[in-house]
Amino acid sequence: MKIKLLVFSLAMAGTYFQSFGQAFNNFPVTTQKPPLHGKHWMAITGKPLAATAGAMIFSKGGNAIDASCAMLASTCTMWDVLSWGGETQALIYNPKTKKVIALNAMGVAPTGATADFFKNKGMKYPPEYGPLAATTPGTAGGLMTMLAEYGTMSLKEVLAPAMQLAEGYPIEAQTANSIERGKEKIKEWPYSKKVFLTHPGEKREAPDAGEIFVQKELLATLQKLVDTEAQALKKGKNRKEAIYAAYDRFYKGDIAKEIARGCQEQGGLITEQDMASWKVKIEEPLVTNYKGIDVYKMQPWTQGPVMLQALNMLENFDLKAMGYNSSRYVHTMYQVMNLAFADRDFYYGDPAFAPEEPMKGLLSKEYAKQRIKQINWEKNDPKVLPGDPYPFEGKTNPFADQIKTWGTKQVSLRNEHGLNDKFMEEFTAGTTSVEAADEEGWVVSITPSGGWVPACIAGNTGVGLSQRMQSFVLDAKENPFNVVEPGKRPRVTLTPSMALKDGKPFLSFAKQAGDEQDQLLLQFFLNIVEFGMTVQEATEAPSFKTLQMYASFGEHEKDPGGLILNDNMPDWTRKELSRMGYRNSYQPRTSGPINAIYFDWIHGSMWGGSSNHGEDYGIGW
């Protein structure tokens, strides 16, 4: 009796503390990694060395913007798994305005990148790798814009850790082995071969784990940016103007010229004018309210609104009563995600180009209620179609007839051994995320990407080019909003997240890994809001994944009924889900990598969470 009473008391204590802040730390009983704690600042990202770079900047008096820029620069330099020629998207909470803003530093399709261009080459989609896969570089401009507009430090100070890494750092096994696996592709591009294959002609041509990996060309490029800033300051320019002088050198000066030349030499399309014309955009984020919590996402050139649509539908259910990861819960979540992803696959695209995305209708609460009426509660619906949000904007759907025949394209994901290995590698592969916050109130959530190994390096710059062109479609029948055009941004998977409660930061969270992102971020958010988990518990808790959306990469495959469950899912739940028409696969870890910061306003502190996947790491103070 005493033991039972103690268990009940502990359970009630957890409920009590959870209602006022994060629950007591159960580590190591329920999590493999401890939560992070900080009063002054928090820095979390994909590599320990990069998190250390953020801590270095904080220790020198920088704010969360400065630190996040240092972490971004470091992860790019360390190929985690991205480069300086990739893309960056960020949500930033500004404590001075009490507003969340969105930074769009996604590159665009270059001159000549039309649907006919790729079709004439016999392609179904733009390629996965190489110079023709490249959008214009966005990360460098995004970093410098963030720093100039919201930071406090100089570009020289913020780039110092990355420049030290470029001088030479002990490369970790994950990246070194990725280079070795991709070496045949790397050999197709002379500038990549020169940088990556440090032991040419040997059995292992990639660097060894722990080897000091030197990037002279990249260091020279970063030095040019720092030198330009210094020259501008010497001429009397202020901090902001000096950073933008460096920005102009990257996009309009000798760096841009060499990127364009190196890209075209290897068969790519990026021109000097493409570089000069590209601009970072500061945008209004999209937002929905879930049970008193405002959740923010990027515009529909990302997949971010998927999570907002799903929350609008899920608020109509008592999720907690279903039980965490019960067959009823999994089925409800899967069907809701089916509906949201079908809308993503048809309606999302760059809002700067026609046709106009019906986002007002898609994010309508009434539209959400209409969508959930379509759910079959007995079994999976493998033929979910996009909905019709136009009436919720007072309009008629111009694509109504097209939707009736949508979704017939099928590419098999399965063989006699189960799911296709290549698809699963692409589905689960990721780059990194960056989370930072400070005691002044600045909060940053970034999901940068692009230029992953094997990357095509642009000339003698050390800058790896993006591979994001593959996320476009060539046929308007698939998605009339996401057909490739010069100057257009592809609809990407990258999706930083932020949530405010009572007008104050509540959660900042993001994860890598393509089409997994919003479905796992959704579950992470509900783990905290509905099931009372701590931020670390929520990053590690077993999740599940749907494969019923069209993949954003490669051949854009789809696996109706495909469901990835955690190895720990009970037999009876597995059998019940199989009976409901799901085709189950299993993984030992299914929740991440998620990086997150929870703001405990009761105690005036921050909790950091970082999944037990890979090398993601954080430091708090």
With a pLDDT cut of 90, the percent of the chain lying above it is 85
- What sign does the CA torsion over 528, 534, 536, 541 have? negative
| Cross-strand partners of 449 | 87
Residue with tokens 């048809």: 346
> Domain ranges in the chain?
304-404
The confidence score (pLDDT) of residue 591 equals 80
**pLDDT band at residue 512 under the 50/70/90 scheme:** confident
Angstrom distance (rounded) from CA 35 to CA 557: 37
Contact 587/424 with Cβ under 8 angstroms?
no
Give the pLDDT of residue 221: 98
Does residue 616 have a pLDDT over 90?
no
Inter-residue contact 229 to 156 (CB < 8 Å): yes
β-pair type (583-587, 562-566): parallel
Nearest to 87 by CA among 348, 350, 310: 350
Let me know: does 493 contact 87? Beta carbons within 8 Å. no
Q: What's the chain's average pLDDT?
A: 92
The CATH code for residues 304-404 is 1.10.246.130
What are the DSSP E strand ranges found in 364-462?
414-415, 418-419, 434-438, 443-446
Would you say residue 27 has pLDDT above 90? no
Residue 187's pLDDT is 98
Instruction: Say whether pLDDT at 391 is over 50.
Output: yes
Written as six digits, the tokens of 353 are 């180009």
Q: What is the pLDDT of residue 513?
A: 75
pLDDT in tens, 102-129: 999 999 999 999 999 999 999 999 999 9
Q: Is the pLDDT of residue 17 over 60?
A: no
Beta strands, E only, 27-184: 36-38, 41-45, 88-94, 99-105, 169-170
At 32 the pLDDT is 86
The DSSP call for residue 564 is E
User: Using one digit for the tens of pLDDT, what is the confidence trace for 322-356?
Assistant: 999 999 999 999 999 999 999 999 999 999 999 99
Cβ neighbours of residue 54 under 8 Å, at least 6 residues apart? 43, 45, 67, 68, 70, 71, 436, 619
The model's confidence at residue 321, banded by pLDDT at 50, 70 and 90, is very high
Give Cα separations from 525 to 499, 538, 615 (angstroms): 9, 8, 22
Pair of tokens at residue 525: 């958010």
Instruction: Provide the 8-state DSSP code for 492.
Output: B
- What b-and-e string marks burial along 400-431, b requiring 16 or more CB atoms within 10 Å of the CB? eeebeebbeeeeebeeeeebbeebbebbbebb
Mean pLDDT value across residues 69-96: 95
pLDDT tens digits for 562-603? 999 999 899 999 999 999 999 999 988 888 789 999 999 999
Q: Which long-range contacts (CB under 8 A, 24 or more apart) does 381-387 make?
A: 381/335, 381/338, 382/548, 382/560, 382/561, 382/581, 383/407, 383/560, 384/335, 384/338, 384/339, 384/342, 384/548, 385/342, 386/342, 386/343, 386/345, 386/346, 386/347, 387/339, 387/342, 387/343
Name residue 440's beta-bridge partners.
Answer: none
Nearest to 311 by CA among 337, 286, 345: 337
Q: What confidence tier does 614 reach under pLDDT thresholds 50, 70, 90?
A: confident
- Could you write out the DSSP letters of every residue in 524-562? HHHHHHTT---HHHHHHS---EE--SPPSSTT----TTE
| Percent of the chain whose predicted confidence (pLDDT) is above 70 | 92
**Alpha-helical segments (H) within 419-462:** 421-428
